[in-house]
Amino acid sequence: MPSQHKQPKATNIGRPRSPKIDRMVLAAAVKLVLADGFGTLTMDAIAAAARVGRMTLYRRWPNKAAIVMDAFVARVDPNTLFPSDGDYLETIRLQMRTMAKAFRGEDGVLMRALLGAAQLDPELATALRDRWTLPRRKMATEYFREGMKQGYLRPDADPDTIIDLLYAPIYYRLQSMRSSIMR
């Protein structure tokens, strides 16, 4: 899953890119971040762990932050979306439980590493905001606005406030390394 960053269009010269290599690179990046943190991660280390050349990485991703964000989003995002069926309010509970469960395991360790490293790495901070935080807020805002239209939520409710009230405790516990994130 190559980065969502705008890259020059590739011509059809050469061999097509391998999804298997993409998966190997993403898995290697996650393994390295979980073992040693984001700060010590290098493109060379990712390439070596994935058994690919550095140019293979640079053809697909502009930097290590883009690789790690692609890996994180690929791991966590599909499993923490709002389910499209079922009771509206129960769907919110289910989505929050699923996200909290993900953050209790390796994905939480990975997110903690990303949040911490983003404080010192502007590229990672931008990638985290653009690839995780803003899309997630947009998804939740749309879901809550739909709930207002359907009468499940008050029509004067502020979706941003709802998001902050519901998700802040999960992120607080994640960052304070509390052992029980919404069990």
Asked if 67 contacts 3 with a C-beta cutoff of 8 angstroms, the reply is yes
145 in the same domain as 103: yes
List b or e across 122-153, with b for residues whose CB sees 16 or more CB atoms inside 10 angstroms: eebbebbeebbeeebbebbeebbeebeeeeeb
88 in the same domain as 43: no
pLDDT of amino acid 123: 87
Q: Write out pLDDT tens, residues 9-27.
A: 555 566 677 889 999 999 9
Of 43, 58, 1, 41, the closest CA to residue 24 belongs to 1
CB neighbourhood size of 47 (10 A): 18
- Which residues of the chain fall below pLDDT 70? 1-15, 178-183
Asked if 64 contacts 42 with a C-beta cutoff of 8 angstroms, the reply is yes
Domain residues for 43? 19-72
167 in the same domain as 108: yes
Asked if 107 contacts 75 with a C-beta cutoff of 8 angstroms, the reply is yes
Question: What is the domain-level CATH number for residue 57?
Answer: 1.10.10.60
